[in-house]
Amino acid sequence: MAILVAGGAGYIGSHMVDRLIEKGQDVVVVDNLSTGHLAAINKKARFYQGDTRDKAFLTNVFEQEKITGVIHLDAFSLVGESMTDPLKYFDNNIYGMIVLLEVMKEQGVKYMVFSSTAATYGQPQSELITENDPQVPINPYGESKLSMEKMIHWADKAYGIKFVALRYFNAAGAKADGSIGEDHRPETHLIPIILQVAAGQRAQLQIFGDDYNTPDGTNVRDYVHVLDLADAHILALKYLKAGHPSRAFNLGSSTGFSNKQMLEAARKVTGKPIPAKIAPRRGGDPDSLVADSHQAREKLGWQPQYDNVEDIIKTAWAWKQKHPQGYND
């Protein structure tokens, strides 16, 4: 009786797998290693290297293993890249979901926890975004994830595949012992880039735009620790197996931090000056994305362990210091 983690070699996936194994769960990982790292996968998981768009590969995994539920974290996720190469996102994310749902249907697997995103909301209408707010993505990444949410919705109606879509805000941090963490090639995310500057690997941070409609003009985001996200998936599976109907939950801290505030927090945590300059806007960035996530707390019983960004940055800094070159060290 195993849980399949699709994308288990990625940043969130590797923490997900680690947490499931810590809880005594049998775990199967599929990943094509296009962005993930073999070294990131907990050795107690059974790993199959391949692409979720490859139906024969995926069918073979389901036939070899007794999969009772799927955690789907298997997607491209860069807002900026999706603006310049949208078809890459639609192919990998949307087509990958079609194949995965087909195989789940054929193999009679009824539960999926799906990694969705705040990017499905687009430019928010309210300060704290609720699950019922309009979903009008302003970048192809968000569009692909919204399409995937809609696909599972209809797959539930037609085939009874029950799902929880978890709309993450900004995943951040690392396992506190520094053994696994965030390692994207190339790196585009705010916290790891700030820490590359702190570690002397990059000359300065470029803050993408300071003319947004926010208190200090820089984008505001809601940072959630990656292991708190992982815990929410475990609770979501339990929720589905208890017979609750399919639905979406926001996962955030309900507190927004601007890019400038994140820089200040990282200066404090690392004790490094971290030079920065204002650069032009990056395409596809909404002004502010902050979650109302009381539904996840009430209905799933989600209790995030990390409730301030400095503690989150500390864990990312521990990983950075232990693995300055990421998984190459």
- Residue type present at position 164: V
- Residue type present at position 63: E
If one asks whether residue 202 binds ligand UDP (CB under 6 A), the answer comes out as no
List all residues 6 or more positions away from 126 whose beta carbon is below 8 Å from its beta carbon: 133
The string of DSSP codes covering 40-82 is GS-TTSEEEE--TT-HHHHHHHHHHS-EEEEEE--S---HHHH
If one asks whether residue 266 binds ligand UDP (CB under 6 A), the answer comes out as no
If one asks whether residue 190 binds ligand UDP (CB under 6 A), the answer comes out as yes
- Return the number of the residue (48 or 76) whose C-beta is nearest ligand UDP: 76
Minimum distance from CB of 93 to ligand UDP (Å)? 15
If one asks whether residue 221 binds ligand UDP (CB under 6 A), the answer comes out as yes
Q: Please report how many Cα atoms fall inside a 13 Å half-sphere around the Cα of residue 324, on the Cβ side.
A: 7
If one asks whether residue 206 binds ligand UDP (CB under 6 A), the answer comes out as yes
Single residue of 11, 208, 239, 317 touching ligand UDP by CB under 6 A = 208
If one asks whether residue 250 binds ligand UDP (CB under 6 A), the answer comes out as no
- Return the number of the residue (175 or 221) whose C-beta is nearest ligand UDP: 221
- Return the number of the residue (52 or 259) whose C-beta is nearest ligand UDP: 259
Which H or E run contains 163?
strand 162-168
Single residue of 42, 170, 250, 253 touching ligand UDP by CB under 6 A = 170
Three-class secondary structure of residue 128 per DSSP:
coil
If one asks whether residue 188 binds ligand UDP (CB under 6 A), the answer comes out as yes
If one asks whether residue 189 binds ligand UDP (CB under 6 A), the answer comes out as yes
* CA atoms of 155 and 267, how far apart (whole Å): 47
Which H or E run contains 145?
helix 140-159
Q: The tokens of 304 are what?
A: 């995030």
Q: The tokens of 319 are what?
A: 């990983």
Minimum distance from CB of 118 to ligand UDP (Å)? 8
* CA atoms of 253 and 304, how far apart (whole Å): 8
- Annotation says 48 is catalytic: no
First to last CA, the chain: 34
Annotated catalytic residue: which of 89, 141, 168, 239?
141
Single residue of 115, 219, 253, 293 touching ligand UDP by CB under 6 A = 219
Count residues binding ligand UDP (CB under 6 A): 15
Minimum distance from CB of 106 to ligand UDP (Å)? 34
List all residues 6 or more positions away from 271 whose beta carbon is below 8 Å from its beta carbon: none
Residues that bind ligand UDP (CB under 6 A): 79, 170, 188-190, 193, 205-208, 219, 221, 259, 282, 285
The residues that are catalytic are: 141
